């Protein structure tokens, strides 16, 4: 088995590695370090959590051990997609350069330009930066990249997702053509392939695992959840999350919870704190000082649960993360690999649990297609409520009773009216047949009197019956209507 001592690294670098407690390189380190030490371009493809950072920091430090930087002209450049990843790379350099006199500068947003300018003016051997802040310094005339001998692009696929590819291409154009390029990514999208073909010269390709695979040390599971009502989905989903955390018990030493939206990050973190969980949010809209403080607290063990957006999915090196929870299924299947890669690092065991609502089923199918495995389903830890009819039976019966009573009342009115109408018609028919026209006139006058009485306070039944009875235009025509006009006037 290969050891770090077999890789022809600087003796002072080997001493720092030994003091850090490492003896054996990971596969990506064993494959990338030798060609990098030879000065060749390297294209490294490996899943997250496999030690890609040390794959370029160790040979860079060895190459930079001799020589000295000039003011505003860094000797090497490392580009990272996020502030957190850039800060982590800087920590790696601090760890492995402790016995060497190499200087570094970290150029990230949220930090004063003045402090960064002072470091650059002194001259740095290693410049670690995010693309946007690097170009800001260059355009202000504070930075010259013509002396860069080694250039590293870390997490290139994340750069693509965040829209940094045009900036990366511009920065490549500002560096010397003779530079050495070390290019690392977890996946190889077509656009990334195009860039490597354009800017890398006959690179040594090291592909440790097939693209977008997940570590075998991570236990994966999915909880399929459907809310009882659409307007209750958020609260019920957070209840499921809390139940999952409680279900893990002492096995959960710390955890990262990933949300798709920044607003959900804040809501979930606030909800967890409300229920007594030690949780804090981290996403791109927070101040850099707050993000740094939260991250340091999580690494130091002072914070148990970190609720994060995908800004924290890449490059967070916290070896002891025991669990990852996907509060949302990620929209891009590749992000699933990077999220759960925060656990099960360096050979440790980890667990990743995803909550899937019905609208996320297509995204979950895409994840399973990418990782080429069916993820185990877990039973919802929240006790399922009985069927809706059983739960609301009493209420429903009450509502039915309320709705039915008026209907029965109206039905009785209709049937009563129909009976009254039929009786009236029958009576009227008998009167027409048995009585002369004068009787019909008296009947009509009696009916008018009845209406008049009802208007002065007669019974409701009288009013209802009078309203529903057809007097003159029904099937039975009164005899006086059939009389000639003159005879009717006389009568």
pLDDT grade for 481, boundaries at 50, 70 and 90 = low
Residue entry with tokens 């209709």: 414
Main-chain dihedrals φ then ψ at residue 404, nearest 5 degrees = -75, -35
Average pLDDT of the chain to the nearest whole number: 81
Boundaries of domain holding 267: 218-385
Q: What average pLDDT score do residues 341-361 get?
A: 88
Main-chain dihedrals φ then ψ at residue 418, nearest 5 degrees = -65, -40
Q: Provide the domain count of the chain.
A: 3
Could you tell me if residue 142 is inside a domain?
yes
Residue 417 has pLDDT above 70, yes or no: no
Work out the percent of the chain whose per-residue pLDDT is above 70. Answer: 74
Residue 403 has pLDDT above 60, yes or no: no
Could you tell me if residue 404 is inside a domain?
yes
Say whether 152 sits in a helix, a strand or coil.
strand
End-to-end CA distance of the chain: 129
Same domain, 62 and 124: yes
Main-chain dihedrals φ then ψ at residue 324, nearest 5 degrees = -125, 130
pLDDT of residue 131: 95
Residue 423 has pLDDT above 50, yes or no: no
Same domain, 285 and 415: no
Q: What average pLDDT score do residues 442-462 get?
A: 47
Sign of CA dihedral 118, 122, 128, 134: positive
User: Which of 385, 411, 427 is the endpoint of a domain?
Assistant: 385
Q: Are 252 and 241 in contact (CB under 8 A)?
A: no
Same domain, 336 and 404: no
pLDDT tens for each residue of 195-238 = 999 999 999 999 886 656 677 889 999 999 999 999 999 999 99
pLDDT of residue 475: 58
Q: What average pLDDT score do residues 4-33 get?
A: 92
Residue 322 has pLDDT above 50, yes or no: yes
Residue 16 has pLDDT above 90, yes or no: yes
Same domain, 352 and 302: yes
Q: Give the span between the Cα atoms of 319 and 238, in whole angstroms.
A: 27
More confident: 428 or 93: 93
Q: Give the span between the Cα atoms of 236 and 227, in whole angstroms.
A: 7
User: Which of 346, 366, 385 is the endpoint of a domain?
Assistant: 385
Say whether 324 sits in a helix, a strand or coil.
strand
Q: Are 19 and 35 in contact (CB under 8 A)?
A: no
Q: Are 216 and 347 in contact (CB under 8 A)?
A: no
Structure tokens at 51: 């030690």
Q: What average pLDDT score do residues 91-106 get?
A: 93
Specify whether the backbone of 236 is left (phi greater than 0), alpha (psi in -120 to 50) or beta: alpha
CB within 8 A of 153, min separation 6: which ones?
A: 79, 159, 168, 181, 182, 183, 184
Residue 400 has pLDDT above 80, yes or no: no
Could you tell me if residue 70 is inside a domain?
yes
Q: How far is CA 247 from the centre of its chain?
A: 22
Same domain, 401 and 376: no
pLDDT of residue 64: 93
pLDDT of residue 477: 62
Could you tell me if residue 213 is inside a domain?
no
Which of 123-137, 310-324, 338-352 is least confident? 310-324
Same domain, 276 and 420: no
Could you tell me if residue 465 is inside a domain?
yes
Say whether 485 sits in a helix, a strand or coil.
helix
Could you tell me if residue 212 is inside a domain?
no
Closest alpha carbon to 341 in 321, 368, 364, 370: 321
pLDDT of residue 406: 46
Q: What average pLDDT score do residues 149-167 get?
A: 90
Dihedral angle of Cα 136, 141, 146, 147, to the nearest 10 degrees: -90
pLDDT grade for 273, boundaries at 50, 70 and 90 = very high
Which of 117-126, 345-354, 427-436 is least confident? 427-436
pLDDT grade for 430, boundaries at 50, 70 and 90 = very low
Same domain, 12 and 154: yes
Say whether 473 sits in a helix, a strand or coil.
coil
User: Which of 335, 351, 385 is the endpoint of a domain?
Assistant: 385
Structure tokens at 91: 């920590």
Say whether 97 sits in a helix, a strand or coil.
coil
Could you tell me if residue 48 is inside a domain?
yes
| Complete edge-to-edge strand list for the sheet that includes strand 180-185 | 104-107, 126-129, 76-79, 150-153, 180-185, 42-45, 204-207
Q: Give the span between the Cα atoms of 219 and 323, in whole angstroms.
A: 9
Same domain, 379 and 430: no
Could you tell me if residue 268 is inside a domain?
yes
pLDDT of residue 1: 57
pLDDT of residue 413: 42
Dihedral angle of Cα 168, 174, 180, 183, to the nearest 10 degrees: 0
Same domain, 285 and 359: yes
Structure tokens at 164: 């940094």
- Strand duo 180-185 + 279-282: pairing: unpaired
Main-chain dihedrals φ then ψ at residue 371, nearest 5 degrees = -85, -5
Q: Are 71 and 106 in contact (CB under 8 A)?
A: no
Q: What average pLDDT score do residues 353-369 get?
A: 94
Same domain, 168 and 59: yes
Q: What is the CATH number of the domain that holds 365?
A: 3.40.50.300
**Count of other CB atoms within 10 angstroms of residue 370:** 18
| Complete edge-to-edge strand list for the sheet that includes strand 279-282 | 279-282, 305-308, 255-258, 323-326, 350-356, 218-224, 376-378
Residue entry with tokens 């939206």: 261
Say whether 334 sits in a helix, a strand or coil.
helix
Residue 146 has pLDDT above 90, yes or no: yes
Q: Give the span between the Cα atoms of 450 and 428, in whole angstroms.
A: 16
Same domain, 186 and 232: no
Structure tokens at 284: 């791109």
Main-chain dihedrals φ then ψ at residue 219, nearest 5 degrees = -85, 125
pLDDT of residue 438: 47
Same domain, 244 and 143: no
Residue 429 has pLDDT above 70, yes or no: no
Q: Give the span between the Cα atoms of 193 and 152, in whole angstroms.
A: 16
Q: Are 256 and 312 in contact (CB under 8 A)?
A: yes
Residue 352 has pLDDT above 70, yes or no: yes
Main-chain dihedrals φ then ψ at residue 28, nearest 5 degrees = -70, -35
């Amino acid at each position: 088995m290969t050891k770090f001592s077999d890789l022809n690294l600087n003796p002072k670098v080997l001493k720092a590695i030994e003091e850090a407690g490492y003896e054996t390189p990971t596969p990506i380190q064993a494959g990338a370090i030798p060609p990098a030490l030879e000065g060749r371009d390297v294209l490294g493809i490996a899943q997250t959590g496999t030690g890609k950072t040390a794959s370029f920091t160790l040979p860079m430090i060895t190459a930079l051990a001799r020589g000295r930087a000039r003011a505003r002209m860094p000797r090497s450049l490392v580009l990272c997609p996020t502030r957190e990843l850039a800060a982590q790379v800087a920590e790696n350099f601090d760890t492995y350069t402790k016995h060497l006199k190499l200087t570094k500068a970290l150029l990230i947003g949220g930090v004063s330009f003045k402090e960064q300018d002072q470091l650059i003016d002194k001259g740095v051997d290693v410049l670690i930066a995010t693309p946007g802040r690097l170009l800001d310094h260059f355009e202000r005339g504070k930075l010259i990249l013509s002396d860069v001998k080694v250039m590293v692009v870390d997490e290139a696929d994340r750069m693509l997702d965040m829209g940094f590819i045009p900036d990366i291409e511009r920065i490549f154009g500002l560096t010397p053509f003779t530079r050495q390029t070390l290019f690392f990514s977890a996946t190889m999208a077509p656009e990334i392939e195009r860039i490597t073909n354009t800017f890398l010269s006959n690179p040594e390709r090291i592909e440790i695992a097939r693209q977008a695979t997940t570590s075998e040390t991570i236990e994966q599971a999915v909880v399929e959840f459907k809310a009882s009502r659409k307007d209750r989905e958020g609260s019920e989903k957070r209840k499921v999350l809390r139940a999952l955390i409680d279900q893990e018990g002492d096995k959960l030493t710390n955890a990262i919870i990933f949300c798709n939206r920044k607003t959900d990050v804040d809501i979930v973190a606030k909800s967890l704190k409300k229920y007594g969980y030690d949780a804090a949010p981290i996403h791109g809209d927070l101040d850099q000082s707050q993000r740094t403080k939260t991250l340091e607290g999580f690494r130091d063990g002072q914070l148990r649960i970190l609720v994060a957006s995908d800004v924290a999915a890449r490059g967070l090196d916290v070896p002891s993360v025991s669990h990852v929870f996907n509060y949302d299924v990620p929209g891009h299947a590749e992000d699933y690999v990077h999220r759960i890669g925060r656990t099960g690092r360096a050979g440790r065991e980890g667990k990743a649990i995803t909550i899937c609502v019905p609208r996320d089923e297509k995204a979950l199918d895409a994840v399973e297609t990418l990782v080429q495995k069916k993820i185990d389903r877990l039973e919802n830890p929240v006790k399922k409520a009985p069927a809706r009819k059983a739960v609301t039976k009493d209420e429903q019966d009450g509502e039915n009773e309320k709705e039915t009573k008026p209907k029965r009342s109206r039905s009785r009115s209709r049937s009563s009216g129909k009976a009254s109408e039929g009786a009236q018609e029958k009576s009227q028919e008998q009167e027409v047949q048995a009585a002369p026209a004068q009787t019909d006139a008296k009947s009509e006058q009696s009916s008018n009197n009845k209406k008049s009485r009802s208007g002065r306070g007669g019974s409701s039944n009288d009013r209802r019956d009078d309203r529903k009875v057809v007097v003159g235009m029904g099937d039975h025509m009164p005899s006086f209507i059939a009389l000639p006009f003159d005879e009717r006037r006389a009568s």
